[in-house]
Amino acid sequence: MVDEDRRRTLEAAAIESADQGLKGLLLLNGGACVALLAFVGSTATSSSLRPEFVPLINVATHSLIWFASGAGLAVLACIPAYKANQSYANHLHNPTKIKWSTGDRYASVALGIAIFSLFCFIVGVVQMALSLTDSAAVPTIPPVITRLLKSIIALIFPWV
């Protein structure tokens, strides 16, 4: 019975840590969105806006897209994470109907989406950092990344 209690405790801890990780990604990207919205809003409506700050506002807007995408992906990752846990529970209830590997596939999808959410945060931070250190080197989103994002969005939301 001790091993069963230990397994349940470890399983609950694994689910809790995954839940906290997704919340952390949402908080990182969402907080960056709020901060950039405040910055762009106050800077763009300022009566003393100098022309040299316009490229910085443009970069902030591009970074905002990355952060918003990361926040959306963090929320989206909750769906396959839920389906993974549901598949594992269904397998334990009826092993002949649901395979354990179904839950593993859902968990892998959730992990991939979460990693891409973190990638979006990193790209947004790097874009802002580069623009703040060298205003002449205003970074843009590489076309390869843009095509990749469009493909992923089309795959997830085919009606868009």
What is the number of domains present in the chain? 1
3-state helix, strand, coil in the chain (%, to 5): 85, 0, 15
* Backbone angles phi and psi of 45, in degrees to 5: -95, 0
Domain span including residue 108: 2-156
pTM of the model: 0.73
Per residue of the chain (160 residues), give pLDDT as tens.
566 777 677 777 778 888 888 899 999 999 998 988 888 888 777 777 777 677 777 888 888 999 999 999 999 999 998 888 888 888 888 888 888 888 889 989 999 999 999 999 988 888 887 776 665 544 555 677 667 766 766 666 566 4
* Backbone angles phi and psi of 96, in degrees to 5: -80, -25
Which residues have a Cβ under 8 Å from the Cβ of 80 and sit 6 or more positions away? 106, 107, 109, 110, 113
Q: How far apart are CA 150 and CA 144, in angstroms?
A: 10
